[in-house]
Every structure is written in structure tokens, then in C-alpha cells.
Structure 1
Amino acid sequence: MKKLRLGLVGVGQMGTRLIELAPERGHTITAEFKSNYPFTEERMIQAKDRVDVWIDFSHASLTEKLVKTVSEHQLKLVIGTTGWYDKLDDYKAMVQNSGAGVIYAPNFSTGVYTFNKIVEFAASIMSKLKAYDVAIHEIHHHEKRDAPSGTAKSLAQTLLTHYKASGLKKKVVPLAPGNTDIAADTIYVSSSRVGHVVGRHEIQFDSVEDSIGLIHDARSRNGFALGAIRATEWIYDKQGFYNLDDFFADLLGNQE
């Protein structure tokens, strides 16, 4: 495995974990953009000769500038930031054929990816059973800004694909506090922000007779950070725009 020089865009809780874990994989953090030294296109270009792959855990307001910069200068980027997926097609078009390499995900954890596959399988069955309703609830620490979480949105889309096909559900809607106007054709996603919860996602299939629950409960951010570091190792020698399925297809077949 090649030892990489990594650059961080955003040094919050995830960035701190990356700084701690990167050396365990033989990598070095050689550049950091943070509050007292924020990202600019000029600074990223100046650092390109000492960074092999950039990792972004900043804010969606920076994503377009980041993608534009890496595309124009054939850089490599791992995006863990969420909140920009409405522009996914635009960014993909920007990266494709540019010589850059970008991989994005709301969560790089192996456990979360596996959980999503379990939810997908469950949805393929439950979406055909009219007796069962379905909902998502996610809980995170009080400092998390976005709600619902990117992972919850991804899980909701996984469910919706099957429920649309069966005709039982038509859309996904974040459930606002106090909302009692519940539509039968909607998958609702609710959120809580409390204490220091790293991340908990629950899928509930409920009927008059019984209830089936699926839960992923993160015990630390190490799983997220390690997944992001493995993504840097994967994208290092690639060009194009990739997602979790591309990444894990290789990772699960070549565990280290």
C-alpha cells in the first residue's frame, strides 16, 4: 500500500479523527484548511505538489469551489460533506473526463454501507406488504448542523426506490416537530439532536400485529474516519466520479 500525503479541508471532529488514524495506515497529513486558515482555490493549488489526495469534511457551501478546483487541476478528492446532492449531476459532469478523481459518500463506514444493504433487502420485501408502514428516525450530537442527516436521506432513497415500485409510497419528507398531517403515501424522516450521540439510524416497519426495527448505532467516529482514509487509498490512482458502491465493490473483495 502506497504511503499517501493527505490534505484536509475542514478540521472538526472528523478531521481530528483523520489526523489520529492516518499514521496507523502509514499516511501523513501535509496540509490543513481550517477556521484560521480557510480553503481558497489559490491555497489548494499552491499545496498540490505536497498533497496526493484531499479529504473534505467541511460545509456544502465549499463543495462547488472544491470540485471546480480539483477538476481544473486534475487533483484527487474524497468528499464526506453532505447537503449538496441536489447538484450531484452538475458536479459529476464537471469531474468526468477532466483527469481528476473524486469519490463522495454521506458516510464511509463499512457498517453503515452494510446497514444500507440490509435495509435495501428488507425494503424489497416490506414494500409489498400493505399492512406495514415505514419511517426513519436519526439521532446525532447537538453540534450537528444538518437535519435529516445525509445517511438518513440516503436510507430514505433506498426505501423509496422499492416503495415507489410497489405504489405504496410516492415521496420522502422530513417530519417537522408537531406535524400531525401524516400522508399515507409518504416516508417520513424524523431527527433528534442531543448530547454527544455519534450517530444512530433506525428504520421502523410497523403494523397492527407487530413491529420490525433495524438499527445502526455508531460507537465512535473511527469507523467513519477509517473508511474515508481507505477511500483516499482507492481514489489515488483513479480518474472519474465515484460513489460508495464503486468503492466497496473493491474494498469488500480486498480487506486489509
Structure 2
Amino acid sequence: MKIALLGYGKMGKVIERIALERGHEIVLKKDEFNTYDGLSTADVAIDFSVPSAAVSNISAAFNANVPVVSGTTGWLEHYDEMIALCNEKKGGFISSSNFSLGVNIFFGLNEYLAKIMKQFDSYKVSMEEIHHIHKLDAPSGTAISLAQGVIENSNYSEWTLEEAKNNQIHIEAKRIGEVPGTHTVNYDSAIDSIEIKHTAHNREGFALGAVIAAEWLAGKQGIFSMKDVLNLQ
């Protein structure tokens, strides 16, 4: 399979290594210094760039009739535009805040726990996420996905970085050293606490999941998620 890498930072380089190990070919390593030359020859594009470049990268791929796997976060105010473009071009698209197998299992566990805790008003939910100091967006896309998973299965209505009021979920975003990513969901009461936590040890899980998603998406049309890729529906 021919893969275009849209974004060639630390994640892009790990994705490149894993893709090559799995027998794929890299036809484009797009960064801020080069063009999209070679994109049209790709079977699939993997976008791990920065928020300011994501829309341009995804648009270029759809316009070149190349399906896209995007792990860039912090650009979701333009998500509906990209969905519309994908549908217009009859493309394929998977956008996820986190491609790690473990994290996607964690998403399912989070939603299941939220359904259980909905009936126990004495517990208040909050979240913490810790990432490396180079991460540009806060809170992380993974934390937002976790919060949305709770909101969709409970009486909470929104998340906030500030002190939580009424039906808000407080997210504490920390930037420390080179931490790949740690996410914790807490349910606290006056009597006890319940906590679920996912800790990434390196970037390998994110990269492998993105390559697996690209392998799954190649040749498909439509809007999909990691639940489709991993059959977690």
C-alpha cells in the first residue's frame, strides 16, 4: 500500500517506521517545507500534523481522491466542512483523537461506566490529562472524547477547563516533560472515589493504530471511526 504522510514530526517518523515494517511504501513526507507532490499516487493519507495545517492537508487529500486517516487534534471547528468535502468527493475518512487500541478500549469502558454512574448523583465526575510540553492543544482531543462519552451517557451537558458548575465536567490539562499521554476519569463522593486511567508508555500504540486504520480504510468510501476499524460497536 502507498501511504502519504501529512505531517512529518515525531509521530510521522514513528508511523513511517511501522508502515515500512508492515510492507508499505511512503510516497510523500509532507512538512512545512515541501509540496503535496506525490499525494495523488497514494492509496491513503495519514495526517498527524498541527491544528493550523490539518484542514489544508485533509482538503488536499480529498481533492486528490485519496482517503484520509487524521489523528491531528485542535481543528474540530472545521470538522463539518471536512465531512462535507469528503462526501462531495465520495472519499473515505477516519478522524480520531487517539488511534491507540488501548485508548479505544478505554473509551468503551468510560461510556459503560458513565451509564452506570448516571443513577448515583452523589458522585461527581472530573478528568485529568497529562501530555508532553510540546503539545499545542489543551485539553487533549482524547480528553474531549472522554468527556463527550460521559455527556452522551449521563446528565452532564458540557466540559470546562475552569471550575465546574452545575452539569459541567472539569478537565485539568497538564503539560509535563515528555509524557506521551495519561488520561484519568474520576468519580468522587464524600464516601469514596472510583477512578479509571489509561497511561501511554510511548508513541508506538498511536502510530500502529493509525497504520491499521489506514490499512482498513484503503478502498472504502464513507465516514468511519476506530469502533469500525476495531469492531468495537
TM range, smaller chain: over 0.9
Q: Identify which of 48, 68, 71 aligns with 1:77.
A: 68
| In structure 1, C-alpha distance between the alignment counterparts of 2:143 and 2:77, rounded to whole Å | 15
Question: In structure 2, what is the equivalent of residue 178 of structure 1?
Answer: none
Contact 1:67–1:91 under 8 Å retained in 2: yes
Residue type at the aligned position of 2:27? T
TM-score (norm 2): 0.93
Question: In structure 1, what is the equivalent of residue 83 of structure 2?
Answer: 92
Consecutive unaligned residues in structure 2, runs of 5 or more: none
Q: Identify which of 188, 193, 200 aligns with 1:211.
A: 193
Contact 1:70–1:100 under 8 Å retained in 2: no
1:151 aligns with 2:138: no
| In structure 2, C-alpha distance between the alignment counterparts of 1:245 and 1:88, rounded to whole Å | 18
Question: In structure 2, what is the equivalent of residue 40 of structure 1?
Answer: none
Contact 1:67–1:94 under 8 Å retained in 2: no
| In structure 2, C-alpha distance between the alignment counterparts of 1:235 and 1:88, rounded to whole Å | 19
Residue type at the aligned position of 2:77? D
TM-score (norm 1): 0.85
In structure 2, relative to structure 1, the CA distance for the partners of 1:19 and 1:69 (3 Å cut) is closer
Instruction: State the identity %.
Output: 36
Contact 1:97–1:240 under 8 Å retained in 2: no
| In structure 1, C-alpha distance between the alignment counterparts of 2:39 and 2:95, rounded to whole Å | 20
Q: CA deviation at 1:51?
A: 2.0
Deviations, residues 161-215 of structure 1 (Å, cap 9, x unaligned): 1223xxxx2221123xxxxx54132111111101111100000000111011100
Question: In structure 1, what is the equivalent of residue 15 of structure 2?
Answer: 18
Q: Identify which of 130, 140, 156 aligns with 2:121.
A: 130
| In structure 2, C-alpha distance between the alignment counterparts of 1:49 and 1:134, rounded to whole Å | 46
Deviations, residues 39-89 of structure 1 (Å, cap 9, x unaligned): xxxx43x41353221111112222332333233331121111011222322
Deviations, residues 102-136 of structure 1 (Å, cap 9, x unaligned): 21111111100000100101000112101100000
| In structure 1, C-alpha distance between the alignment counterparts of 2:93 and 2:164, rounded to whole Å | 39
SS of the aligned residue for 2:171 comes to: strand
Matches within 5 A, 1:192-231: 192-231=174-213
The runs of at least 4 aligned residues of structure 1 exceeding 6 Å deviation read: none
Q: CA RMSD in A?
A: 1.7
In structure 2, relative to structure 1, the CA distance for the partners of 1:133 and 1:72 (3 Å cut) is same
Residue type at the aligned position of 2:118? S
Residue type at the aligned position of 2:111? E
Residue-pair matches, total: 233
Contact 1:234–1:247 under 8 Å retained in 2: yes
In structure 2, relative to structure 1, the CA distance for the partners of 1:76 and 1:204 (3 Å cut) is same
Q: Identify which of 161, 175, 183 aligns with 1:174.
A: 161
SS of the aligned residue for 2:230 comes to: helix
Contact 1:141–1:193 under 8 Å retained in 2: yes
| In structure 2, C-alpha distance between the alignment counterparts of 1:36 and 1:162, rounded to whole Å | 44
SS of the aligned residue for 1:213 comes to: strand
Residue type at the aligned position of 2:2? R
| In structure 2, C-alpha distance between the alignment counterparts of 1:194 and 1:101, rounded to whole Å | 36
SS of the aligned residue for 1:134 comes to: strand
Question: In structure 2, what is the equivalent of residue 57 of structure 1?
Answer: 48
Consecutive unaligned residues in structure 1, runs of 5 or more: 38-42, 176-180
1:34 aligns with 2:22: no
